[in-house]
Structure 1
Amino acid sequence: MTQRLPPRESLTVEFKSDLKKLPDRELIEALVCLANAEGGELWLGVEDDSTPTGLHAEHRLLEGLAGMVAARTSPALNVQAEAVEAAGVTVARIRVPKAQGEVATTNGVYLRRRLKHDGTPECVAMLPHERASRASSFGLIDVSAQPVAGATLADLDPLERERLRQAVQQYGGDRVLLELDDEALDGALLLTARQPDGSRVPTLTGLLLVGRETSLRQLVPTHEFAFQVLAQQAVRFNEFRRFPLLKALDWLETNFRPYNPEEELQVGLFRVPVPKVDMGAFREAVANALVHRDYHGRGAVHVRLEDDALVVSNPGGLVDGVTLANLLVTEPRPRNPALADAMKRIGVVERSGRGVDKIFRGMLKFGRPAPDYSYTTAQSVVLRLPTDEADLEFRRLVVEHERTTNAELPIDSLIALATLRELKRLSADALAERIQRDVTSAKRTLEALTEAGMVEAHGATRGRSYTLSASLYQAVGNKAAYTRQAGFSPIQHEQMVLSYVQQHGQIKRAEVMDLCRLTEDQAWQLIKRLVSAEKLVKHGERRWSFYTLPGDD
């Protein structure tokens, strides 16, 4: 088969010349290198500048290549090789899957592919901490439950233990923890691990939660966080710390509050605070960054207040199986399970593991844009919380609805309302993409909002679309916007179509869609009614169809 080659090498594309027969060792190492990154393709018989020069005679029979690769890698790497014609010569495309863990050559060589500062790829040795980091991102090991070399019980701070107990009370955590002595508490939260000789040694979780600051500096040198305030590129606050995590959260919250002004909204007899950043979302975002960061690599957790957003970032990308496309619905997959579980039991983070929902709720209930994870890379998770002006009337409506029903609006409903505020009109298909669920779930959400009087449905079931209800537009003093979005009645649609045909002689379905702002199915139903009522006459078939008034043939 003839194939166009990729234009250049990348993280997932490798070119290897085969003019002098590429040694098997180099080929195996290049395949291992790809597998320990994101997988990809190795093109054998192609020069570094993407010029195809062909396979060596000894490589033209590709049937045994996959077996050779499997025999010389551990665990066995399963590749697929096929011959491809390019510019008149035969080259081989070898597809390499992403290793679910780590893979080495049988000579014990561990390599990984990475991008250099100029964007070109290279293969480098996988160092021990990088291997451990990769294993933890796949959930193969829990580094937070492991004893820390060189640590003793003297590295744990009694004052931080007391802070932990106070945090359980403050955040409504597992009150059983308050009844335990220090040793039992250590066991319950995996703050220490029992050694074969019966002694106890602090784990990474123990040091991060109740360790002395001096011990953290020495024994967990990768732990660091920063709070920064930037105003029009000027730095107003910029401090780095290495506190234990509960003290870190207190310190960050205390320093953030002066930069987080509140206004009040009167709803009936109640005053509802409207902060610049919802403190529940702030706490969840910061705690998630500290809990789920990669503690194998250097780099600080950054909490940065910019002119238009609060930005929280942490070293280490999303763990395997979690993507931007399933962030709202995937099962929790913590990089550091023991640490995450301890923070849940203390009550600092969402007990259900659905902290992302809490962050979304903290933004959307004030009529602000949704949290933005789009700056996330393989090396870091970046969360932006826009600090746009709150929509006070929208907030009032949400509060009134939740007080009437005595229940919070589901997160999918908040996303639907926020999307309708942005796009004005919405289909179930479009909402399904926003809430990362199937169309049936999206329809249920929209129909529930319709029954609640917050949304109105337009059109037939198949081509149904939705807008915010007249009552919502009326509540925010924008009746004209409702009329624009709700559109015209079916009778008005018929008159518009007939008037168009009188003026132009004929009309096509695409023109009906554009004229009346209807979906394809809605336009078809309108035309069908007019033809059945003998107000229009059809000419032609399928996409060549057009319609005229009777007697205009």
Structure 2
Amino acid sequence: MTPPPLPPRESLTVEFKSDRKRLSDSDLVEAVVGLANAEGGELWLGVEDDGTPTGLHAEHRNLGGLGGLIAARTSPSVAVGVTAVEVQGVNVARILVPKGHSEVATTAGVYLRRRLKHDGTPECAAMLPHDRASRAAHFGLADVSAQPVAGATLADLDPLERERLRQSVQQYGGDRVLLELDDEALDGALGLSTRLADGSRVPTLTGLLLVGREQALRELVPTHEFAFQVLAAEAVGFNEFRRFPLLKALDWLETNFRPYNPEREIQVGLFRVPVPRVDLGAFREAVANALVHRDYHRLGAVHVRIDDTGLTISNPGGLVDGVTLANLLTTEPRPRNRALADAMKRVGVVERSGRGVDKIYRGMLRFGRPEPDYRRTDAQNVVLRLATVDADEAFLKLVVAEEGRRGTVLPIDSLIALAALRELKRLTTDELAVHIQREPLQARRTLEALLEAGLVQAHGAARGRSYTLAPGVYQADGDKAAYTRQAGFSALQHEQLVLSYVRQHGSIRRSEVVELCRLTAPQARDLLRRLKEAGRLVQQGERRGAHYTLPSPGEG
């Protein structure tokens, strides 16, 4: 097996440790703990900070006991992988450190974490109590929103905000059972307060965030803050920071957002359909998600920012463990603040199924706009970008008409498929699987269901099968030529295209057939095989060197 290369420099997941003077056991274990409490990574023992390999100390050249030493000196035990590697003529050790699934300490009680400094260089820093609590929440091991807030009393809960909560249940279609409860029963049902060992009740973080007095939030929950900003042509048109309780915050944000969200109407059959700059349902869900799922151990505001090209919503705290950009649509809900999320679901403010991301996708795609963009999300922040480009009215009419025919909304996978076909023109099941974040089998079922509904058209068979929007879809947009270009040509036309190309250029390769006829590689191979068997082309060379020419006058 080829030894792994030495990384060029240190990073969040790479640490170099000199061993010329024999790195102490405690320093070695602390370096492992720092990596385990971040993203895991690799510790290179016998390498200087500048990346120069200088080799292992004589006492470390037998690596057999190093893994056992680290496991015995960490809590919970960290199982590392140790490999001897020769670099530039000297022996060093590569120690693979897994990411811890809880906070890790040395057996001496030292908590450290690896982090990046402001200049992008890494360091190992003390892991303070709030860092440990944040990490536990990240892994779903603790729920700060269900805990009592130190120093808070029931007097810090605002009767006016309780009334707003009840009105929100009615407005958003929440759990109407809540409307029948008195204050104490409501607190218990939503986890707004908790009972201490002495029998007294005190507010939880959920209670303060939902119905707390603004002054109490300022004093007792200093990490809670949100901002609404409007930037136009690089000028600041609106820039306000607030610390309202969450239901008031949502009302305030929506009220200030509406003037910047113009709406027009289009006629679809007998109905007039509103076309806003940003779908209000998607806006509400995205903002509520940011406020509910932010990390309340970290300072920093939830930002709602409008500029010339879109709406950006960001919140402190990266995606929780197990949630990635590649499974946002399909993973089971994993709320960082479970008690707060459950309370907001019962009030009706956020999607009760936990599939709020679907609602955000739907609010973008049904108008023919790009899908939500989470690509700027990192370990510290979740960042969502919603483009405010013009709606595609023809696509919206297609969706509204189909939903009217079905009597229900399109499944999110079907909507994503139609949107992808609208943008990319042609898709295979493997390509769609990436878009819907599911297995190719599910992607095929989605496309075949759309085929049966008459919304898409299939081309080819078996593994080479691809799909385009059906002709009627393009005709509805007044662009019949677009369908002709994207649906491709008949088999006869493909043959004529290839033969014409060979007459002009002398030969053709399979890759050129793929590009010329817009076929998949297997389809191009089958086309060339048919032409060869019919004697209309002659194969020259084999495998990668194969190309095809017209037969000479004496052939065929």
**Aligned match of 1:109:** 110
The answer to whether the aligner puts 1:458 opposite 2:429 as a matched pair is no
Instruction: Please give the TM-score of this superposition, normalised by the length of structure 2.
Output: 0.97
Secondary structure, aligned partner of 1:64: helix
CA distance in structure 1 between the partners assigned to 2:511 and 2:208 by the alignment: 66
**Aligned match of 2:445:** 444
> Which is worse superposed, 465-474 or 511-520?
511-520
After TM superposition, list the pairs within 5 Å mapping 1:486-497 onto structure 2.
Answer: 486-497=487-498
- Aligned residue pairs: how many? 553
Contact 1:2 1:86 in 2 (8 A): no
Secondary structure, aligned partner of 1:222: coil
**Aligned match of 1:169:** 170
Deviation of 1:175 after TM superposition, in Å, equals 0.8
CA distance in structure 2 between the partners assigned to 1:232 and 1:126 by the alignment: 42
Secondary structure, aligned partner of 2:64: coil
The answer to whether the aligner puts 1:224 opposite 2:225 as a matched pair is yes
The answer to whether the aligner puts 1:425 opposite 2:426 as a matched pair is yes
Deviation of 1:397 after TM superposition, in Å, equals 1.4
**Aligned match of 1:122:** 123
Contact 1:3 1:86 in 2 (8 A): no
Deviation of 1:115 after TM superposition, in Å, equals 0.5
> Which is worse superposed, 452-461 or 389-398?
452-461
CA offsets 1:429-469 (integer angstroms, 9 cap, x no match): 11111111111111111111222222111122211111122
Secondary structure, aligned partner of 1:226: strand
Deviation of 1:38 after TM superposition, in Å, equals 0.3
The answer to whether the aligner puts 1:20 opposite 2:51 as a matched pair is no
The one-letter code of the counterpart of 2:421 is L
Contact 1:3 1:85 in 2 (8 A): no
**Aligned match of 1:374:** 375
CA offsets 1:259-301 (integer angstroms, 9 cap, x no match): 1100101112211110011000000000000000000111111
**Aligned match of 2:343:** 342
**Aligned match of 1:133:** 134
**Aligned match of 1:302:** 303
CA distance in structure 1 between the partners assigned to 2:547 and 2:295 by the alignment: 62
Instruction: Please give the TM-score of this superposition, normalised by the length of structure 1.
Output: 0.98
Contact 1:313 1:383 in 2 (8 A): yes
- The 1:3–1:349 alpha-carbon spacing in structure 2 relative to 1, beyond 3 Å, is closer
CA distance in structure 1 between the partners assigned to 2:375 and 2:488 by the alignment: 34
After TM superposition, list the pairs within 5 Å mapping 1:57-456 onto structure 2.
Answer: 57-456=58-457
> Which is worse superposed, 4-13 or 523-532?
523-532
CA offsets 1:318-367 (integer angstroms, 9 cap, x no match): 00110111111111000000000000010000000000000000000111
**Aligned match of 2:49:** 48
The answer to whether the aligner puts 1:473 opposite 2:474 as a matched pair is yes
Deviation of 1:103 after TM superposition, in Å, equals 0.4
Deviation of 1:531 after TM superposition, in Å, equals 3.4
- The 1:247–1:429 alpha-carbon spacing in structure 2 relative to 1, beyond 3 Å, is same
Secondary structure, aligned partner of 2:402: helix
- The 1:2–1:491 alpha-carbon spacing in structure 2 relative to 1, beyond 3 Å, is closer
CA offsets 1:73-131 (integer angstroms, 9 cap, x no match): 11111111111000000000000000001100111110001101111100110110110
Deviation of 1:368 after TM superposition, in Å, equals 0.6
Deviation of 1:544 after TM superposition, in Å, equals 3.8
The one-letter code of the counterpart of 2:22 is K
The one-letter code of the counterpart of 2:487 is A
- The 1:166–1:3 alpha-carbon spacing in structure 2 relative to 1, beyond 3 Å, is closer
Deviation of 1:539 after TM superposition, in Å, equals 4.9
**Aligned match of 1:519:** 520
> Which is worse superposed, 344-353 or 443-452?
443-452
Q: CA RMSD in A?
A: 1.4
**Aligned match of 2:486:** 485
Deviation of 1:503 after TM superposition, in Å, equals 4.4
CA distance in structure 2 between the partners assigned to 1:297 and 1:512 by the alignment: 56
The one-letter code of the counterpart of 1:287 is A
The one-letter code of the counterpart of 2:193 is T
CA distance in structure 2 between the partners assigned to 1:507 and 1:155 by the alignment: 78
Secondary structure, aligned partner of 1:368: coil
CA distance in structure 1 between the partners assigned to 2:263 and 2:507 by the alignment: 59
CA distance in structure 2 between the partners assigned to 1:504 and 1:197 by the alignment: 91
Contact 1:83 1:90 in 2 (8 A): yes
Deviation of 1:549 after TM superposition, in Å, equals 4.4
Q: Which runs of 5+ in 2 are unaligned?
A: none
CA distance in structure 2 between the partners assigned to 1:322 and 1:268 by the alignment: 41
The one-letter code of the counterpart of 1:247 is K
